[in-house]
Amino acid sequence: MKHPAIPYVLPMAVFLGFLAIQSYLAPLGSFEFPLRVLVLAGVLWFFSRHVISFRCVRPVQSILLGVAVCAMWVLPDQLFPGYRTHWLFSSVGTLNTSIDLNLLSNPMVLFFRTIRAAVLVPIIEELFWRAWMMRWLIKPEFETVPLGAYSAQAFWIVAALFASEHGAFWEVGLLCGVIYNWWMVKTKSLGDLILVHGVTNLCLSIFTVMTKQWQYWQ
């Protein structure tokens, strides 16, 4: 019998697996990026589509919140040049993009990297962090726990783990995790969380491409 956590956890495991083997994918060059998108989209379709909901209860507020979170993400570095070179940040993660700089002039790479960030990552991460882990930490039989159920322990553990996922950007990752967790508790809607996360990542991707500050694409 299929474990009920698989639709929530497997896409994240595949996503992290790609990160673990990305050095081995380098010979693929620009074709690495559509490959990742196709595989991740396939995993979501075959294993997770029955648990994904795009229904939003507060779409306008989710969009505005997503834009605000993006602004929060980039403002410290724009207002205080050199801010992120402090050891508090540089010692826990790289400040450089993992993408070969020679590929960043390729429109296909920019397109598929943006699709991954703005469409697939929000679905994958919201399934894992807030649709599964926030509930699983409350009760292992997580399906009996409604979306958006609040537990201080689950809330802050997920926020801290979400921050750790973002390396040198851990402090804005923590704030982002707190905001997203709060929005899940507020809306109790996976669709709203996918939307707010997608808007954040889309705005951040547009900013990254326009300013060529590639460090935001880890």
pLDDT of the chain along its 218 residues, tens only?
589 999 999 999 999 999 999 888 888 999 999 999 999 999 999 999 999 999 999 999 999 999 999 999 999 888 888 888 888 887 877 788 888 888 999 999 999 999 999 999 999 999 999 999 999 999 999 999 999 999 999 999 999 999 999 989 999 999 999 999 999 999 999 999 999 999 999 999 999 999 999 999 88
Q: Give domain status of residue 124, yes or no.
A: yes
The total of structural domains in the chain comes to: 1
Burial of 61 (C-beta count, 10 Å sphere; 0-12/13-18/19+): middle
Q: Give domain status of residue 1, yes or no.
A: no
Domain that holds residue 56: 6-216
CB-based contacts of 189, cutoff 8 Å, min separation 6: 53, 55, 56, 57, 58, 147, 148
Q: Give domain status of residue 136, yes or no.
A: yes
Q: Give domain status of residue 197, yes or no.
A: yes
The pLDDT score that the predictor gives to residue 192 is 98
In the numeric block, which tokens belong to residue 136? Answer: 């699983």
The pLDDT score that the predictor gives to residue 157 is 98
Q: Give domain status of residue 46, yes or no.
A: yes
The pLDDT score that the predictor gives to residue 1 is 53
Burial of 87 (C-beta count, 10 Å sphere; 0-12/13-18/19+): exposed
- Cβ pair 177, 162 in contact under 8 A: yes
Q: Give domain status of residue 122, yes or no.
A: yes
Collapsing DSSP to helix, strand or coil, 148 comes out as coil
Residue 33 CA, chain-centre distance (Å), reads: 17
- Cβ pair 30, 108 in contact under 8 A: yes
The pLDDT score that the predictor gives to residue 86 is 84
The pLDDT score that the predictor gives to residue 212 is 94
